[in-house]
Amino acid sequence: MHTFSLPTPGFGTYRLKGDEAKMAVENALDVGYRHIDTAQAYENEAEVGDAISASTLPRNELFVTTKVWFENLCADKFITSVQNSLTQLNTDYVDLLLIHWPSPEDKVPMSEYLQELKACKERGLTEHIGVSNFTQSQLDEALAILGKDHILTNQIEVHPNFQNKELVAYCQRNNIQVTAYMPLGVGKVMESDVLNAIAKEHDTTPSAVALAWLSHKKIVAIPSSTNVEHMRDNLTAKQMMLTAEEIEKIDAIEPQERIVDPDFAPDW
């Protein structure tokens, strides 16, 4: 069993670029985030690294996640790309290294890139390993390749408007923590009548309600924001206690719509 639990919420950096990315991460660390999530594909690892270096926090108090892009999955590119990420991030290791997307159309065999991922852990380039955007059948294959208890998390789209219930249940049954990206559904939660009504009862925001609901489900959230007030709200949301009735109302939200579905996505 994994005894390790991912720090939640983490701070997501998707779509943040340049100085905005650096400033956002600096502010996130200032208000109390300790888990920072980036990726090779976000093209902001250097700025995240600058923000981490500028911080007075000891490295062992931070939890840094990055992800290997699918163009780097083959054995001759994988470890070099990770070393490049570490250089950009200005750190000797990351805490969590993920496969960002399964190889489109299995161009690179899963056994090849998961062995590379495992090798990164064995070489001390990362403390933990995991995956992102993997379906149940892909997780079955990954577990067969790596064995139980190696995959710390599957980072997937989860928010009240897309609850991904079967995949979440599958992960949790198999001792794989679920990390929710886009936990606020790119702002769509703000339009939800259900979340707005519950927020009113608690004198808070629909975003905070969405994050409290994820926390109740034991799902790690990585909201992104450039607004310091929102960062603070997102950080404290997990302390909110929702009633069983409120949870049921959120569980019943319709319609359920996936936001992230690029042309290279697996067959969901």
Task: Name the catalytic one among 14, 33, 42, 170.
Answer: 42
42 has catalytic annotation: yes
> Which residue matches tokens 């339009």?
191
Q: Which residues are catalytic?
A: 42
